[in-house]
Amino acid sequence: FDCSVGCSSGAYAIQMAHDAVALGRARCALVCVPELPSAYANFRERDSHFILGDAAAAVVIQPDRPGLEIVDVELVSRFSNNVRNNGGFLNRCDAEHRDDADKLFYQQGRRVFRDIVKLVPQVIEGQLGRHKLTPSDVRRFWLHQANARLNGAIGERLVGPKGQDKLPMVLEHTANTAAAGALLALDGHRDDLRPGDVGVLCAFGAGYTVGSLLLRVTE
């Protein structure tokens, strides 16, 4: 089934897959996160078209397997019309209205930055606090790959200017790949982690929505 929660879709889908496995409703779950932003980018809007890229990611959820253990999931939504997609390529069959603005991705970038840079650290710090952890205890933060300035500002609130190496970026290789971005960062920046290390995968975007996964490396 589909899970459409904007750029947070991957995190929300992982939570549902994890719950299904934990409850015994499934022995194994596959979460697929395909993203085709080029199909709904508005090439007349500077706030959207130049930042987007197409990509896909997938995650296998199984019980009692080595790799990354899902310790906790935090899902948050706060209504905002500052970033949205009213259907994208799924709703563009009428040639006469195919490129109307209401069929394409839209955002007010400055307002999104202002709101998200406050909301995301609050969600992550609250989640860590429930487990008696602080951002300094986290080895890696895999954030939604929106833009470098936004992630840098979030990182500074979490770990200060000297902790930016905890927040890997893949934007220079992939651009903003929506819900796939945080998973691409995870895939490319986890091989140096050791058993017991803690990481946070946090996706955020339209809605606003935030999906934060507290992860621990296992044997």
Neighbours of 174 (CB within 10 A): 17
The DSSP code for 24 is T
d(CA 77, CA 92): 27
Closest CA to 126 of 210, 183, 189, 206: 210
Give bridge partners of residue 210 from the DSSP assignment. Answer: 76, 204
Single-letter residue type at 96:
E
Closest CA to 201 of 50, 30, 57, 55: 57
Sign (positive or negative) of CA dihedral 65, 10, 153, 119 = negative
Residue 28 is among the residues annotated as catalytic for this protein = no
Active-site annotation holder among 7, 28, 32, 93? 7
Q: Which residues are catalytic?
A: 7
